[in-house]
Homo-oligomer: A and B are copies of this chain.
């Protein structure tokens, strides 16, 4: 029998890396944040809802409250570690990919798929209304299941 691994693969090295990341973002390094950050960032880019992250945290043995998950997601977003994607009126999605890019979205499946920035060419943009600047341009390609004939 191997011994239980309450902290999964959160090694000292990973902890240090994440602690640096949090520190650089101006966030205090706490155990819940470290472990949530680990869940979020360990495996490439992903899209996550608050509920999904809470479930995942619990499944991984992390006892964290709903409030902390919401606070953490919002703080990470404010700190630029996550991006919020608005595709569904019901839930918010958080994207660990903070580079400029776009999304496919399949309604009904609640599934987001990243599109690399250079895969879409937004050639021309209208002038912004006077007094306003472009913050960012979001392209969402809404998909339907194709019904073959």
Q: Which residues of A contact B (CB under 8 A)?
A: 84, 86-89, 91-92, 104, 106-107, 113, 115-116, 119-126, 128-129, 131-146
Residue from B92, B104, B116, B132 in contact with A144 in the complex, judged by beta carbons closer than 8 Å: B132
Residue from B89, B123, B139 in contact with A86 in the complex, judged by beta carbons closer than 8 Å: B89
Whether the pair A140, B140 counts as a contact (CB closer than 8 A) is yes
The secondary-structure label for the interface of chain A is strand
Whether the pair A121, B120 counts as a contact (CB closer than 8 A) is no
Residue from B107, B134, B145 in contact with A131 in the complex, judged by beta carbons closer than 8 Å: B145
Given contacts A86-B87, A89-B84, A125-B141, A146 and B131 within 8 Å (CB-CB)? yes
Whether the pair B125, A122 counts as a contact (CB closer than 8 A) is no
Whether the pair A142, B136 counts as a contact (CB closer than 8 A) is yes
Whether the pair B129, A120 counts as a contact (CB closer than 8 A) is no
Q: Report A45 CB to chain B, min CB distance, Å.
A: 16
| CA gap between A89 and B136 in the complex, in Å | 17
